Amino acid sequence: MKICTVSGQIISTEKNHRLSGYPLLTLDVLEVDGTPTGKELAAFDTIGVGIGERVLVTIEGDAAVQLIGHQDAPVDAVIVGVVDKVELLSRERAQI
């Protein structure tokens, strides 16, 4: 799974009928601390998020297909949650 920020939407006039109703969004991948990695990806939105939101993305074909609900849907990345907050242990505390 990855934490990302929604950066845009991909608009297409034609797409696989199994993906109807799921917007395809562009995402900027983040480090756990919120720092941008410079990497981007595209994922289908199953929960209804907006541009600028931090989201949790699964990038695994079987899980993505289960969320879409069609065994033969051509998908591998799906937005599965909105990230409200990330709490990290300090390095000192993590070593204890």
- What span, in angstroms and rounded, lies between the C-alpha atoms of 63 and 54? 20
* DSSP code of residue 67: H
Give pLDDT tens digits for 33-76: 899 999 999 998 989 999 999 999 988 766 655 566 656 656 67
Homologous superfamily, domain 2-94: EutN/Ccml (2.40.50.220)
The torsion defined by the Cα of 24, 78, 70 and 23, in degrees rounded to 10, comes to -20
pTM, rounded to two decimals: 0.78
Q: How buried is 93 (Cβ within 10 angstroms: 0-12 exposed, 13-18 middle, 19+ buried)?
A: exposed
pLDDT, position 7: 97
8 Å CB contact between 61 and 38: no
What integer pLDDT is reported at residue 95 of this predicted model?
44
Which element (helix H / strand E) includes 93? helix 91-94
Selected residue with higher pLDDT from 94 and 64 = 64
